[in-house]
Structure 1
Amino acid sequence: MKIAVLFDGAGLARLGLEQAGHECVGFEIDPWKHHLSKFVGSGNTVLADATKVDLSGFDAVWASPPCQKRSMANQHDVSNEKYAQADDFLEYSLNLPHEVLWVENVIEKGGWNDWGSHYNAAQFLRTPIQCRNRIIGGRYKEPNIFRPYQYTYPKLDICPAIMASQGQGGYAPLFKRAEGYYGRKMTLEECAYHQGFTVPTGWYRVPDGVPSSEWNQILFEAVGNGVPVYMARAFGEAYPASTILVTKKGRKPKGYERRKVSLALTHEVWELIDDLVSPDQAQSDVLRELILEGMKRKKLKRAAI
C-alpha cells in the first residue's frame, strides 16, 4: 500500500510501516523533526502542514496528531510543539475518509479514551522492551500480538515508557519513567533501543548555530514522541506488502525483464533482528550479517551436493 504518515515527527511510525513492506510518505511541519526524519528509513518525508496536504493518491493513512495536551506524562501542560497549542487534530484525523486508517495517540488525562482500541507496546514483541500505552482508532485489521492488553504487566520485567522529556528528567513521577527502571539517566541510544531502532549517524551532526545542549534536547524529544517501530510494523504487517520494480544500477532494463522484489521481511525475521540488535548497533548491520551467513550456508550446501 501507499501510506501517508501524518504528523511524521522523526519518522518512527513510517519506519515501522516501511519495514512491513509499504511505500510511505511522511508529512511533518516542524523543521527539526523533518530534518531528523530524513535520516530514518527511506527518508521519504515532506516538510508540510499535515492537515493541508492532498491525500487522494494514498491507499491508507497513519496519523499521530500531537498529544501533549492529552498526555498523562505532561502534568504541567508544557509543550513546544508547533501544533500543540492549536486545534485538537485528533478529530480531524479520525474523520479522514480512507478505507485503511490508523490514528495513534496517548491515553488522555482528561478521560476521552473510547475512540479506539487500547494497546501496549509490550504486546508487540515476544520479549517486551517497553510498557507504553496507546490508543489506535480508525479502520484497520487487527495486528498480531503476543499477549492480551494490560495497562501494566506486573509479572514481567519491562522498562516504563520512553518519554519526550527523557533527557530533562521528565514531568511524570520517577517510578513511571525509564530512569526509575535504570536507576540513572538514560542515553539517547538506550531510548532508541526501547523504541525499536538505532540512532542514525546523521542525527549526531549538530546543525550550525544550534547549541549542542539544545540539539540534545531535540533528539530526546524526537525519540520520546515517536511510535515504537515494532508496534507500527505489526499494524502494517496485517496487509500485503508492496512490491517495486528494480534493475541493477547502471544497466538498462531489457524489455520487461525486471524483477519484482518484496520490500517486507517476515515478522519472524524482524523478531530475530530485534532480539539480536544491541543499543549501539544498527538493524541494517544485523540484517547484513544474517544475509551473509545465509549466503555462506547456501554455498556450502551447493558444494556438498
Structure 2
Amino acid sequence: MTFLDLFAGIGGFRLGMEQAGHQCIGFCEIDEFARRSYKAIHDTSKEVEMHDITSVSDEFVRSLGPVDILCGGFPCQAFSIAGKRQGFSDTRGTLFFEIARFAALLQPKFLFLENVRGLLNHEGGAMFETILRTLDGLGYDVEW
C-alpha cells in the first residue's frame, strides 16, 4: 500500500511502514534539519516533498492522488507533560486539524497517528475527545 508521511521528523513512521512493505509517495516536515536528515536516510528522489503543512493547498493535496495510509506524528509540545500543555491554544496543538484536512481530501483507508501520553488526559480528556469526534466525523473508527 502507499502512504504519505506527515510531520515526518527524520522518518520513524516511514521506517516501520517500509519494513512492513509499504511505499512512501511523499512527506511533509517543516524543520529544515529534520528534513535534511530524512532525505539523507531515505531515498526520496521520486516523492513529493512538502514543508509547511499549513501552506499546502487543498488542490495540491488532491493532486497527490490515491493514498492508502496517512501517517502523522503531529507536534506533541502542546500536550506533553514536558511542555507547557497549552493544547489547542498553542498553534502546534491545532496541527492535528491539518491531518484531518488531508484525510478529508484524500480519504485514505487508514490513518496512523502518534502523540504523547499527555494527550489522553489533557484538560480532563477534552482535547482527545475533540480528536476522536473529528476522526469519527470523517468516517474513521479509532483505536488507541
Contact kept, 8 Å, 1:30 with 1:47, in 2: the verdict is: no
Change (3 A) 1:43 1:57: same
Which residue of 1 is the match for residue 78 of structure 2?
69
- Give me the whole-angstrom Cα distance separating, in 1, the residues matched to 2:140 and 2:40: 30
Report how far residue 139 of structure 1 moved: 4.2
Asked if structure 2 preserves the Cα contact closer than 8 Å seen for 1:3 and 1:61, the reply is: yes
Distance in 2 between residues matched to 1:22 and 1:43, nearest whole Å: 14
Question: Which whole-Å deviations, capped at 9, do the CAs of 1:264-294 have from their partners, x for residues lacking one?
Answer: xxxxxxxxxxxxxxxxxxxxxxxxxxxxxxx
Deviation (angstroms), 1:77: 5.7
Match of 2:36 in 1: 35
The equivalent of 1:104 in structure 2 is: 114
Partner Cα separation in structure 2 for residue 30 and residue 94 of structure 1: 21
**How do 1:249-264 and structure 2 match up within 5 A?**
none
How far off its partner does 1:43 sit? 4.4
| Deviation readout 1:195-227 (Å, 9 max, x if unpaired) | xxxxxxxxxxxxxxxxxxxxxxxxxxxxxxxxx
Query: Which residue in 1 is equivalent to 2:13?
Result: 13
Is the CA contact (8 Å cut-off) linking 1:6 and 1:63 kept in structure 2? yes
Contact in 2 for aligned 1:15/1:40 (Cα 8 Å): no
| Equivalent pair of 1:101/1:140 in contact (CA under 8 Å) | no
2:135 match: none
Distance 1:140 1:86, change over 3 A: closer
2:7 maps to a residue whose letter is F
Q: CA deviation at 1:87?
A: 6.1
- State the SS of the aligned residue for 1:38: helix
Distance verdict in 2 for CA 1:47–1:35, change over 3 Å: farther
CA distance in structure 2 between the aligned counterparts of 1:9 and 1:67, rounded to whole angstroms: 12
- CA deviations 1:150-204 (Å, max 9, x no partner) are xxxxxxxxxxxxxxxxxxxxxxxxxxxxxxxxxxxxxxxxxxxxxxxxxxxxxxx
**Partner Cα separation in structure 1 for residue 19 and residue 42 of structure 2:** 8
Q: For residues 43 and 140 of structure 1, what CA distance do their matches in structure 2 show?
A: 31
- The structure carrying a bigger helix percent of its residues is 2
| Cα distance in 2 between the residues matched to 1:93 and 1:16 | 19
Q: Secondary structure at the match of 2:40?
A: coil
Point out the structure with max Rg over C-alpha: 1
CA contact (8 A) 2:76 2:93 kept: no
User: What residue is the counterpart of 2:136 in the other structure?
Assistant: none
Q: Select the residue among 56, 79, 89 that pairs with 2:95.
A: 89
- Length-normalised TM-score, structure 2: 0.63
C-alpha distance in structure 1 between counterparts of 2:68 and 2:51, whole Å: 19
How much does 1:113 deviate? 3.0
2:68 corresponds, among 38, 59, 68, to 59
Query: CA shift at 1:28, angstroms?
Result: 1.0
Structure 2: segments with no counterpart, 5+ residues: 133-138
**CA-CA distance at 1:48 after TM superposition:** 2.0
Percent pairwise identity? 29
Moved over 4 A (4+): 138-142
Q: Which residue does 1:50 correspond to in 2?
A: 53
SS in 1 for 2:18: helix
C-alpha distance after superposition, 1:113-144 (max 9, x if no partner): 3446xxxxxxxxxxxxxxxxxxxxx84898xx
- Structure 1 vs Structure 2 CA RMSD: 3.2
Letter in 2 for 1:113: F
Amino acid at match of 1:93: I
Residue 4 (structure 1) shift: 0.4
Could you tell me whether the CA contact under 8 Å between 2:7 and 2:29 is conserved in 1?
yes
Q: What secondary structure does 1:35 align onto?
A: helix
Note the alpha carbon deviations across 1:88-110, whole angstroms, 9 max, x for none: 02133235132222222223233
